Amino acid sequence: MPYFSFLLARRGQADPFTIVVPTLTVPQGQWGNSVAVYNPQSVYDPAAADRGRTFYVSGLQGTEPAAKAGDLLKFAGHSKVYMVTADSTLISGTFAQITIEPALVAPIAHDEAITVRKVPFTVVNLSDNLNSSITAGPFYSLTLDLVEVF
């Protein structure tokens, strides 16, 4: 009931909250401890189909693969979560080009920090209605229908 009451207190779609998906807390790639955007000139251009989906990072661990397809990331200045869509290759030292989806929804700054562990999603309930069911036995289940907001 504490989980249900928490969701009820969010008033359906009215109150966004953050959640870290328990099975997606650690990236598959060999990210470093202080990864940041490197040289993002002209990365954000929503009118260009090939732009906004790749950017450079510094501070990687220096081993391959630096980032793996399926890794999640979030920029310090964004509330949007992105997914790496291709394994990266180190360009030199701890620098790499990263490919993501969706395309950037806002500009990123040089040296902007990137979160790759325990990435928090900002979400709301998909519906204003909450449904629950209780069955006989000691176990209960709770199904969440959430949508990301940014």
pLDDT single digits (tens) 41-54: 555 555 554 468 88
Distances (CA, A) of 133 to 4, 5, 11, 105, 142: 11, 14, 19, 38, 8
Which contacts (CB < 8 Å, 24+ apart) does range 77-82 have?
A: 77/106, 77/108, 77/109, 77/112, 78/105, 78/106, 78/108, 78/150, 79/122, 79/149, 79/150, 80/105, 80/106, 80/148, 80/150, 81/119, 81/120, 81/121, 81/148
Neighbouring C-beta atoms of residue 94, cutoff 10 Å: 17
pLDDT computed for residue 49 by the predictor: 47
In the chain, what's the furthest Cα-to-Cα distance? 59
**Is the pLDDT confidence value at 18 over 50?**
yes
**pLDDT for 47:** 52
Averaged pLDDT, 33-48: 67
Q: Residue 51: what pLDDT?
A: 64
pLDDT of residue 40: 55
Average model confidence (pLDDT) across the chain: 83
Q: What is the dihedral of CA 20, 26, 27, 29, to 10 degrees?
A: 170
CATH: 1.10.10.10, 3.40.50.970, 3.40.1180.10, 2.40.30.290. Which one for 24-115? 2.40.30.290
Q: How confident is the model at residue 128 (pLDDT cuts 50, 70, 90)?
A: confident
> Is pLDDT of 13 > 50?
yes
Torsional sign, CA 98, 102, 103, 109:
negative
Kindly state the average pLDDT of the residues 89-115. 88
pLDDT-derived band of residue 82, with 50, 70 and 90 as boundaries?
Answer: very high
Domain with CATH 2.40.30.290 in the chain: 24-115
Q: What is the pLDDT of residues 103-125, one digit of tens each?
A: 998 888 888 999 999 999 999 98
> What residues contact 76, with CB distance under 8 A and at least 6 apart?
112, 113, 114, 115
Instruction: Tell me phi and psi for residue 20, to 5 degrees.
Output: -110, 120
Q: Residue 143 — pLDDT band, cuts 50, 70, 90?
A: confident
Residue 68 has pLDDT above 90, yes or no: yes
